[in-house]
Amino acid sequence: MKLNETDLKRFDDDGFLFLPGLFSEDEAQMLMDEAQAIYKQDREEVWRESSGVARTAFAAHTYSEPFRRLGRHPRLVEPVEQLLGEKLYMHQYKINAKAAFDGEVWQWHQDYGTWARDDGMPEPRAMNIAVFLEDVTPANGPLLFIPKSHKQGVLEAGHDLETTSYPLWTLDREAVSRLAAEGGCEAPIGPKGSVVMFHGNLVHASPPNISPLNRTIVYLSLCAVSNHITKFTRKEWIAHRDFTPIESLEDDCLRELVDNRAAVAAE
C-alpha cells in the first residue's frame, strides 16, 4: 500500500496520518481475541497496572502468529518504507490495554526522546503505528496529539519514574502549552481496525480511561535499518536488537487467519 500526495503532505504538515477502518472489523476482532489470550499469560513481557490488570504486552510478534503477521503487514510496512526511504526493522512492539476504569495516564512525551536517550538511536528516522483493536471514542482515553510538534526536534524532558508504571521522558506544561498554541490538540477517534501513523518526534499523551469500555491499541515502532540503535540498556524484548529488514507479507495475511478460524468454528 502506498500513500498518495495528500497523505504525504498531511503527514509532513501535522506529523501524523489517521486512516480510519484500514483493517476490517473482523481482522481487528481476531487480533483482539489473541491479545486477550496473551494478557492471561504469566510472562515477563506482560506488564500490569498497580491494580493487576494488564497494561502492556511487549514483543508479541515474536510469540504470536497473528501479531507476527500484523508486524509484517503491507498496509503498515510499505507506507513507512515510503516515508523513510529504506527497509525497516521492528524497534518496539507493544499491545497497550488501557483497561476500563483502570487504564492509567501516559504523560506528554515524544517517543524518539526515549529512543535517543535510552537506546542510542542516531536520528528520528523511526515512527509509530497505532492499530486500534477496539473502538476509540472520546470516552475511553484516546491518544492525544499536538499537531506540528514533530518539527521541534527533541525537546527537553524529565525522566518520570513516578506518575505512571512505565518510565518515560516527559515534557513540561509550558512546552506543551506553547506547542498547542500553534498546533492545537487533536484526538483521532474511530472504529476498531483504524490506524494512526505518527512521527517519532510528535508530542502525544493519553488520559486515564475512567469509562466502562476497554481500549486496546497495538503500537509498532518501525525504524530505518541504517538507523538502528547503538545502546542496549533496555531488555531486548522492549528495545529489539534484531535489525533484519522486514519483508512484507501479502495483503490478505490476516484475512486468511480470520477465514481459518471461521472454518474451524463451522466444523
Instruction: Return d(Cα 127, Cα 110) in angstroms, integer.
Output: 11
Per the DSSP assignment, residues forming a β-bridge with 170 are: 109, 158
Query: What is the residue whose three cell numbers read 535489525?
Result: 243
According to the binding rule CB under 8 A, does residue 53 interact with a copy of itself? no
Query: Beta strands 168-170 and 88-96: pairing type?
Result: unpaired
Residue 137 binds to a copy of itself (criterion: CB under 8 A): yes
Choose which of 53, 185, 225, 249 interacts with a copy of itself (CB under 8 A).
185
Task: Please tell me the total number of residues recorded for the chain in this structure.
Answer: 267
Determine contact, residues 204/93, Cβ cutoff 8 Å.
no
Tell me the closest approach of the beta carbon of residue 181 to a copy of itself, in angstroms. 8
| CB 28 within 8 Å of CB 19 | no
8 Å CB contact between 214 and 49? no
Q: Which CB atom, from 93 or from 108, has the smaller least distance to a copy of itself?
A: 108
142 binds a copy of itself (CB under 8 A): yes
Pick the stretch among 11-19, 124-132, 175-183, 223-231 that binds a copy of itself (CB under 8 A): 175-183
Phi, psi (degrees; rounded to nearest 5) at 115: -60, -40
Continuous H helices in 51-198: 65-70, 74-84, 111-119, 173-183
Nearer to a copy of itself, 139 or 154 (CB): 139
The interface mask with a copy of itself, positions 201-230, x = CB under 8 A, is ----x-xxxxxxx-----------------
Of 35, 180, 197, 224, which lies in the binding site for a copy of itself, with binding defined by CB under 8 A?
180
**Shortest distance, CB of residue 189 to a copy of itself, whole angstroms?**
6
Chain residues in the site for a copy of itself (CB under 8 A): 100-101, 105, 107-108, 137-142, 144, 146, 173, 176-177, 179-180, 185-187, 189, 205, 207-213
